Amino acid sequence: MRKIRFILPLALAYGMFAGGFWLQLGNPEANAEARKNNAVVVIKAIGCHDPATAQVTATATGMVDGRRQTIALKLMPLSEPGTFALAQQWPKTGRWVIQLAGKNGEQFTNTLVTAGPEGVDRLHAKSEMKEFRQSDVEALLEN
């Protein structure tokens, strides 16, 4: 009976993530290739899919001198399939929300992460399997 109690939670946890697709944010200092590309964050498409077919896009929305700006960002594919480096392409001043969107076939995920003069806050990123609303971005800009 003890084995069943232990195995059941593991099986349920696996079922929650099986077939999932999400974006994992990593430290560029831990990746020589990302460091070489001056990355501020590494993005890795993970889950039950072929990472080589994942498509990831990024935009930065921010407030600089009281004006709202949105900038399309370029991701640099790294040698590991489904892994990308993001270098800073937005102004160093102001507060920014970076939106990362991933598609793999019918699967979709996206992540919001804040950035500012102190860098990218990977630890407080928000992820969803559905598209974020503009109000979600606004809330992060205001905090």
Locus of tokens 């077919």? 53
Q: How confident is the model at residue 143 (pLDDT cuts 50, 70, 90)?
A: confident
- 7 is a domain residue: no
- 37 is a domain residue: yes
- 14 is a domain residue: no
pLDDT higher than 60, residue 11: no
- 74 is a domain residue: yes
Locus of tokens 């590991």? 80
- What does the block give as tokens for 86? 């993001």
Question: The domain containing residue 130 runs over which residues?
Answer: 20-142
Strands 119-120 and 126-128: unpaired
- 27 is a domain residue: yes
> For the chain, how many structural domains are there in total?
1
Q: How confident is the model at residue 4 (pLDDT cuts 50, 70, 90)?
A: very low
- 59 is a domain residue: yes
pLDDT in tens, 92-139: 988 999 999 999 989 999 999 999 999 999 999 999 999 999 999 999
- 56 is a domain residue: yes
Q: What is the CATH number of the domain that holds 110?
A: 2.60.40
- 1 is a domain residue: no
pLDDT in tens, 47-74: 877 888 999 999 999 987 788 999 999 9
Average pLDDT, the chain: 87
